[in-house]
Copies of this chain bind each other. A is one copy, B any other.
Amino acid sequence: MTAPLLSLSRRLRRTPFAEGVAAAGVKAYTVYNHMLLPTVFRSIEEDYRHLKEAVQVWDVSCERQVELRGPDAGRLMQMLTPRDLRGMTPGQCYYVPIVDETGGMLNDPVAVKLAEDRWWISIADSDLLYWVRATAHGWRLDVLVDEPDVSPLAVQGPKADDLMAAVFGDAVRDIRFFRFGVFDFQGRDMVIARSGYSKQGGFEIYLEGSDIGMDLWAALMEAGRPLDVHAGCPNLIERIEGGLLSYGNDMTDDNTPHECGLGRFCNTHTAIGCIGRDALLRVAKEGPVQQIRALEIDGPPVPGCDHWWPVMANGKRVGRVSSAAWSPDVGTNVAIGMVRMTHWDAGTRVQVDTPDGLREAQVREAFWA
Please tell me if the beta carbons of B29 and A4 are within 8 angstroms of each other in the complex: yes
| Copies, count | 2
Q: Which of A8-16, A154-162, A264-272, A360-368 contacts B (4 or more CB under 8 A)?
A: A8-16
User: Which residues of B are found within 8 Å of A322, using beta-carbon distances?
Assistant: 10
Q: Which among A130, A137, A247 has the greatest number of chain B C-beta atoms within 10 A?
A: A130
Please tell me if the beta carbons of B5 and A27 are within 8 angstroms of each other in the complex: yes
- Residue pairs across A and B with Cβ atoms less than 8 A apart, 9 shown, are A3-B6, A4-B6, A5-B6, A5-B29, A6-B31, A7-B40, A9-B304, A10-B248, A11-B30
User: Which residues of B are found within 8 Å of A31, using beta-carbon distances?
Assistant: 6, 12, 30-31
- A137 and B101 contact, Cβ closer than 8 Å, known pairs A10-B248, A29-B7, A130-B128: yes
Q: How far is the CB of A46 from chain B (nearest CB, A)?
A: 15
Residue A300 CB within 8 A of the other chain: no
Residue tally, chain A, CB below 8 Å to B: 49
Please tell me if the beta carbons of B138 and A130 are within 8 angstroms of each other in the complex: no
Residue A125 CB within 8 A of the other chain: yes
Please tell me if the beta carbons of B10 and A249 are within 8 angstroms of each other in the complex: yes
Q: Which of A163-171, A211-219, A288-296, A305-313 contacts B (4 or more CB under 8 A)?
A: A305-313
User: Which residues of B are found within 8 Å of A40, using beta-carbon distances?
Assistant: 5, 7
Residue A227 CB within 8 A of the other chain: no
Q: Is the interface of A mostly helix, strand, loop or mixed?
A: loop
CA distance A14 to B127 in the complex (A): 20
The residues of A with any CB-CB pair to B shorter than 8 Å are 1, 3-12, 14, 26-31, 34, 39-40, 100-101, 106, 125-128, 130-135, 137-139, 246-249, 275, 304-308, 322-323
Q: Which among A7, A11, A135, A307 has the greatest number of chain B C-beta atoms within 10 A?
A: A7
Q: How far is the CB of A241 from chain B (nearest CB, A)?
A: 16
CA distance A7 to B3 in the complex (A): 6
Smallest CB-CB separation from A28: which chain B residue? Answer: B5
User: Which residues of B are found within 8 Å of A26, using beta-carbon distances?
Assistant: 4
User: Which residues of B are found within 8 Å of A133, using beta-carbon distances?
Assistant: 100-101, 131, 134
Contacts A11-B246, A12-B30, A34-B126 aside, 10 further interface pairs with beta carbons under 8 A come to: A3-B8, A4-B26, A4-B29, A7-B40, A9-B249, A9-B304, A10-B249, A126-B127, A127-B130, A137-B138
User: Which residues of B are found within 8 Å of A134, using beta-carbon distances?
Assistant: 130-135, 138
User: Which residues of B are found within 8 Å of A5, using beta-carbon distances?
Assistant: 3-6, 27-29, 40
User: Which residues of B are found within 8 Å of A128, using beta-carbon distances?
Assistant: 130
Other-chain contact of A304, B8, B305, B306 (Cβ < 8 Å): B8
Please tell me if the beta carbons of A6 and B6 are within 8 angstroms of each other in the complex: yes
Other-chain contact of A1, B4, B8, B127, B275 (Cβ < 8 Å): B8
Smallest CB-CB separation from A1: which chain B residue? Answer: B8
CA distance A10 to B31 in the complex (A): 12
CA distance A5 to B8 in the complex (A): 10
